[in-house]
Structure 1
Amino acid sequence: MSKSSRYGGEKVLVVKRALFDELGAFNGFEPDSGRYFHTLLSAENNFFLDRDDAEEDPSHKQLIPYCIFTHKGKILHYTRGGSGGEARLHAKGSIGVGGHVNLSDVDAEDGHLGEATYNAGVDREIREELAFDGDFTHKVIGLINDDTNDVGKVHLGIVHLVEFTADSPNVKANEDSIANLAFHDPADLAGDDFPLETWSQLCIEARDQWLAN
């Protein structure tokens, strides 16, 4: 199989790694989202790149909305199924729902993306991946980065806290890549019974910073 056929010509939103370094590169969870978010989502600083190239090129960072869902103080946890887009994360436990921002998903005729279009895309992504009753609120609470592995080197997570506002949201998965959905106490998710993918581990370790906001 040729490299060009791996992702079927998919184009994903990226920024240059040099911009991330200029803003202040970090490893782990960074709660000072304002320091990064507005600059990363300025139209002159982002663009769409073939995913085949982006996945192998650490000189770019793919921007990934990573949504943590909460309801009455509990956090939604799931297991990544085998049909997800990132094979390296299959069967891992996660508290983050989200994925690549694609050119086909947004109104970005000039090949760049602003904050309003990005946030509208996140709203659509939430409703596409999960079915639930009632409404929700969401806000950016930080960024996540992990350059210690091949997946992390080419991705940068924008972490959203999503709160369901219904008394009983009745959450179900809309995609086969999301399995075993259930709400859990944050302290339980920090224990050995819930092995998590790296980004989720980092978010749980920093939970006191964002649950208090």
Structure 2
Amino acid sequence: MATTLTPEMLLSAYSSGIFPMAEHRSDEGLFWVDPRQRGILPLDGFHISRSLAKSIRSDRFTITYDFDFAGVVTGCANREETWINDMLMTLYNQLHRARAAHSVEVWDNGVLVGGVFGIALGGAFFGESMFSHRTDASKVALAYLVDRLAVGGFDLFDTQFITPHLASLGGVEVSRARYRKRLRAALELDADFDRQTGVSDAYSLLQRNVHTS
């Protein structure tokens, strides 16, 4: 169990293929995770259904990047079961201030209703968590994140594990060995989360991504 952890130690762990979790929100310690099967979301295989495309094209949601990082982390942690404890919340916010952690926010009439956040290293993006308080809000956040990563030159979107939700969007599992090979290659890339300025319009986003059903 880890009782103290610095942002530098956390980045080093991610570059080695491991990541920390807590047992629950009030847990003061962390444990390291190194899955045998790793979840990834291929940036050239993100699945946008017709219903999700409709949500993206609508004027229902407003999208921002890195506007309310702390709010997204809080939204992800404020659930009955969570692996994000106070130590991780502090570390994520420290990494955000260092421009190593980023978020996508989804707003509905000025209210934060969904989002996703993660850590960027080279051409690898380590997705941490997402939340949704409106139908499709987290899916919309992921669509805009995938688009931004692709434009920014990223090659690996690590989702840690695969859930039915992620699988429906194109997420797949790869072996630990294959993941680490891809991770090593991605870390050598000069990607930039901020390469894209502004927010993609819905038409451009849908044209650049897979829409199969």
- Length-normalised TM-score, structure 1: 0.26
- In proportion to residue count, which structure has more helix? 2
> Structure 2-normalised TM-score?
0.26
